[in-house]
Amino acid sequence: MKSLWFIICGVLGGILAGMGMGGGTLTIPLLVLVLGVGQSLAQTVNLVAFLPTGVLALGIHFKNKLVDVKNATAILVPALPASVLSSIFATDLDGQLLSKLFGVFLVVTAISSFFVQTLKKA
Amino acid sequence: MEGIEHVNVNQYLGKKKFATPNKKDKVKKTVILGVAGLFIGFVNGLFGAGGGMLAVPLLTMVAGLNTKRSHATAILVILPLCLVSAVIYLSKGVYDKDVFAPTILGVVIGGLMGAYALKKCSNIALQILFYGVMLFAGLKMIF
């Protein structure tokens, strides 16, 4: 029965992700707040869940020639080692602290993104 | 249409110089992308998410890509980052099949639904909804 709740969480998070609106944004809070999953586990699930969808989507985007490899590489070259470093010590951090930090990140991103977007439209 | 969008964004954000690149600006652009990349990689590794939310505006504003290309290129950025983080997290034993299997199934289903829904409705109400949810979720996680 609990499996059904996880599926629902995944669907809700996935819908947002499918609309190009950031995958982990809803999935992780739902898992942690509603289903009591640990922060690290929720993050891992989110990461793994993105992989198949990401690969499929990327394939389609490449086919449609929408991918700018040069710019992506400029970002990726420093991003990869940074990710390795933070991933390694992320799991050692206290789950509660990590949840709060993630919450701060979400709030900051929501507010700034909203203003940047509405600025663009105006 | 794409050209107009490009110029508008650049003018509005005062980064018009990127519209007509010369050697110095290209180097500047690469450096900014690189520094931002450090941050994006760090955040995505720390939180297991969020890389996309940072990468898309970065690509739009600094690399000057239009919305579609920004989103598409962002996936090329996030995918390797997520793969690397996933491998590290899993190697540390963070795993629970009772959580993984159903959630991943849900995400895949939801992803298809969302991709389909996007075609039907892309407007400012969606953005308000999304950022509203994000804000709410974020606050809940802090307190």
- Write the pLDDT tens digit of every residue in B71-130: 889 999 999 999 999 999 999 999 999 999 999 999 999 888 877 777 666 666 667 777
d(CA B25, CA B18): 7
Q: Do A22 and B49 touch (CB under 8 A)?
A: yes
CB of B10 closer than 8 Å to CB of B64: yes
Least Cα separation, residue B24 to chain A (angstroms): 16
- Write the pLDDT tens digit of every residue in B35-66: 999 999 999 999 999 898 899 889 999 999 98
Find the CB nearest A86 among B46, B54, B114: B46
CB of A32 closer than 8 Å to CB of A10: no
From residue B23, alpha-carbon distances to A78, B19, B26 in Å are 21, 13, 5
- Write the pLDDT tens digit of every residue in A24-82: 888 999 999 999 999 999 999 999 999 988 888 899 889 989 999 999 999 999 999 99
pLDDT of residue B122: 60
For Cα atoms B56, A58, A110, give the angle at the middle one, nearest 5 degrees: 25
